[in-house]
Amino acid sequence: MIAGLLALALLQAPGDQGTLVIRQDSVDVAHEGFRLTAGRLAATVRYDRVRPVLSLAPILDVGADSQPVTLQYDVADPREPLRILGQLGRGRFTVRLVSRSVERAREFPATANTVVLDDSVYAFYVFAAWRARAAPTTLNAIFPRALRREALVAADLGLESVTVARETLTLRHVTLTGGVNGVVHVWLDAAGHIQRIDIPSRHIVAERLPSS
């Protein structure tokens, strides 16, 4: 009940817009621009330090309880462009992958604590972080592009100091434990806006750029 009320309050609050710098082994590999409005998160990520260049552009619509409702996700890959479509149904979230050569579909169970995540788009983690409480909370995490599902345990560790864009800030520290990543650290400001994400197992850090 409390988690639902918090998510509703955050979704009704003013939106958020920003850019995350994604680094792997301290090397910039991509910039992720995102825009969060009431009920919608849109992001654009371009990985241009690899060949071929990969661009990801998901749009995720969520309900008042931050439950994923629909997903439209374009993957610009010169080897084979891909469109991913997601739709919440009764007790399930259906994912369709459509490319020039094949179309696949898979249904995943959808519980009250379902979140949509991606291995290369990090703004999605805000919805998972909003569900964290001091007591461990199990999340049903769906990764549509990878067609996999994981059970993650979210925990709110309270306020801690962390460096973001060379500035030391006091932020809310959330951990998501389980799945192929092991543990993901998410840092939010007082408004619930994402500031930093750390994935130690992959040597990934995504930091928010300061507003100009």
Residues 46-74 pLDDT 10s: 998 878 899 999 999 999 888 999 999 99
What average pLDDT does this structure show over 3-32? Answer: 76
Q: Is the pLDDT of residue 198 over 60?
A: yes
| pLDDT computed for residue 212 by the predictor | 61
Q: Is the pTM of this model over 0.75?
A: yes
Q: Which residue has the tokens 């849109």?
A: 42
Can you tell me the mean pLDDT for 36-44? 95
* Amino acid present at 160: E
pLDDT reading at 10 higher than 80: no
**Domain-by-domain residue ranges, the chain?**
2-49+112-208
Give residue 14's pLDDT. 52
| pLDDT at 25 > cutoff 80 | yes
Predicted confidence at residue 64, as pLDDT, reads 83
Instruction: Give the span between the Cα atoms of 146 and 124, in whole angstroms.
Output: 15
pLDDT digits (tens, 9 = 90+) for 98-155: 998 889 999 999 999 999 999 999 999 999 999 999 999 999 999 999 999 999 999 9
Just give the CATH number of 2-49+112-208.
2.50.20
Averaged pLDDT for residues 172-195: 97
